[in-house]
Chains A and B, each alone.
Chain A
């Protein structure tokens, strides 16, 4: 399966600031996704990152708060904007080689907001 690298692995940020999380894959993939996971909880899909077009956001998530870029088939970024303590969570990138292939995950970014 693909090797997925997420940066940073963890960060502590101040309220009101923004953080950009990077997801790099070692081979081209069709699908890239961004999830949020509270400690001890299951996963919530934030959006599907589309190459060359705007991301597709799930209910409850908006582009102004979570802008996403996907400039090519191996790289995507998620920005968490104007952060508040409620944004403290684990953010995970996942990829799928094709639309009929399962998703594989990076190790996540652990974000704490003070």
Chain B
């Protein structure tokens, strides 16, 4: 079993829909949780960075961490075709620890 599980998709939704992307993990020591967006032929771009449990909102993006369920989510409101990309979750035990990555979910927003 992988430490971090993420459905590779593709996930295809119509423009304007609310998108939910998820990762589950097995290591209860993870404390730092990140979501990156990666466009084709580009490097990963940091979207959200959270510590421990709770919610964090930035514009159309909301990150949720549920440590009791070992489950993190990224919600995208009012999705746009420009949101079409691969979304990677990553997490670590502490600030100096190696990042553990999900496989990435390919998201397609249909106009």
Contact = CB atoms under 8 A, between A and B. Distances in A.
Q: Ordered nearest first, which 9 A-B pairs have the shortest CB separation? A: A105-B43, A100-B95, A102-B49, A42-B101, A107-B43, A99-B95, A105-B44, A42-B103, A43-B101
A106 B104 CA distance: 18
16 contacts: A1-B46, A4-B43, A42-B101, A42-B102, A42-B104, A45-B98, A45-B99, A92-B44, A94-B43, A98-B95, A99-B96, A100-B95, A102-B34, A103-B34, A103-B99, A105-B44
A107 B88 contact: no
A43 B45 CA distance: 13
Nearest to A42: B101
B103 A41 contact: yes
A95 to B, nearest CB: 11
A45 to B, nearest CB: 6
Contacts of A1: 46
Interface in B16-34: 32, 34
Contacts of A106: 43
A26 interface: no
Contacts of A94: 43
Interface residues of B, number: 19
Interface residues of A, number: 21
Interface in B47-81: 49
A45 B95 CA distance: 16
Interface in B87-101: 88, 95-96, 98-99, 101
A99 B32 CA distance: 12
Contacts of A42: 88, 101-104
Contact of B46 (A43, A102, A107, A110): A102
A54 interface: no
Contacts of B46: 1, 102-104
Interface string A79-114: 000000000000010100011111111111010000
B20 to A, nearest CB: 20
A10 to B, nearest CB: 9
